[in-house]
Amino acid sequence: MKFSKVAPVQARTIPLFLTNYDVVVEAVTGSGKTLSYLIPCMEMLLRPQTREVVRSKKNAVIAVIILPSRELAQQVFQVTKQMLHYVSCDYKDAVVDSDAKKGGGSSVTPEEKKGSLPLYSCQCYIGGRSVQVDVDEFTKNGGNVLIGTPGRLFEMLVSSKYTTLFNLTHLELLILDEADKLLEFGFKAKLDAIIKRLPKQRRTGLFSATQTKELAEIARAGMRNIVSVTVRQRSLGTANQDTAKPQIPELLTNYYAFTSASQKLDRLLEFLAQHREEKVLVYVMTCASVDWLYEALAQVLLPEEKGSIFALHGQMKLEKRQHVHKLVTTAKRGVLVCTDVAARGLDIPEVGVVLQYDPPVDPSTFIHRIGRTARMGRRGISCVFLLPQEMEYIAFM
């Protein structure tokens, strides 16, 4: 995957998972949290005992990863699938070659090569498609790593007639990613039911850019041998840092601009003209606002830029959301008008600018919106449009 070194959150977290600790992680968005649990997941799959389980039981589930949105679940699924492909194919051959060398250079038979590592599999369970499709896929290929949203995972593992398909006896790892958003969306009851269904002898990780009292309650109820990891960025000259404040990317510059409601659209056009060669995310509050602003920009105000203007919100059909996310991810420049469906965890590469056309009311949402830029050591710009009566928002920032 062409990573030459680990990020701080990975250096702190990976050894804990592999030495039988449960981990609660608070780290700035874009710091590399996903690999902090996927790398230990791969290591657990490669343990000799787990190899034998996977080889003999296709329906054995070793890890469950729960995320708050379909887009984020699919994103993590793609990374996991890429890592499992390497483990099952390229790394598998390296293990065989290493075994041959240890044996004094003796050749390895096809049977020995075939048996060195099992063919690992993963499944992504999200809403918007038939449960039967998911069941058929698991029956055919198994799923050692299950990734999905709480609703569909609850249906598959707890409430449906298909729950007996899944062998959870050998489960090693449970991950709740963007855990505070999982609770904010009202999934606590389903999370509790899923956790109750899993073996107690497991490793559990809670990952988020912010921590709440509700998360602390889940940690106390569903985790053992807990270690809290907080990875904060310290700028030069900031010896004393308020650890109670949520972190923002160090290379991010925050701006605000006052505008009247009647001039807001004009200010937006001026702003986009200044950042024409960059990838810009424009956040609004509602799905209807996304549709209206997208049509205004693409059809009326900037028709010559229609091909590089996109819209994304939670009421779109799954296939449409996937298509838009793929287009924005591969684009070199453009404008994505979106709601907060794209604010949590999604890795849209090379976002240079975030504009909050409508400011959020929730502090954690503000943090996650601006976290779409200035990721992994890159510089970024964030701006929020404020009405004259919203002067108090400056103190909040």
Phi and psi (nearest 5°) for 257?
-145, 130
| Residue 111, in any domain of the structure | no
The answer to the question of residue 3 being in a domain is no
Range of the domain at 359: 252-396
Which residue's entry shows tokens 């997208």? 294
Same domain (yes/no): 43, 192: yes
Q: What value does the mean pLDDT take over residues 170-183?
A: 92
**277 and 167, same structural domain?**
no
pLDDT tens across 67-126, in order? 998 888 999 999 999 999 988 876 666 555 555 555 555 444 444 444 578 999 999 999
- Clarify whether residues 158 and 219 are in a common domain: yes
List the beta bridge partners of residue 311: 337
Alpha carbon distance 98, 243 (integer Å): 47
Contact, 234 vs 363, CB < 8 A? no
Residue 80 domain flag:
yes
Q: Mean pLDDT across the stretch 172-184?
A: 90
- The band of 364, judged by pLDDT with boundaries at 50, 70 and 90, is confident
Q: How confident is the model at residue 339 (pLDDT cuts 50, 70, 90)?
A: very high
> Is residue 131 a part of any domain in this protein?
yes
Beta bridge partners of 309: 335
- Specify if 281 maps to a domain: yes
Joined tokens for residue 221 = 């109820």
Say yes or no: 290 and 206 in one domain.
Answer: no
Residue 347 parent element (H or E): none
User: Average of pLDDT values for 129-155?
Assistant: 96
- Report whether pLDDT(238) > 60: no
Do the domain assignments include residue 107?
no
Within-domain flag for 242: no
Number of structural domains found in the chain: 2
Same domain, 221 and 300: no
Query: Is residue 242's pLDDT more than 60?
Result: no
Q: Give domain status of residue 106, yes or no.
A: no
Q: Which whole number is the average pLDDT over 384-390?
A: 94
Closest CA to 7 of 371, 349, 375, 367: 375
- Distance between CA atoms of 84 and 367, rounded to whole angstroms? 32
Across the beta sheet with 203-208, the strand order is 122-125, 145-148, 63-66, 173-177, 203-208, 22-27, 226-231
CATH number for the domain spanning 392: value is 3.40.50.300
Q: Is 146 helix (H, G, I), strand (E, B) or coil?
A: strand
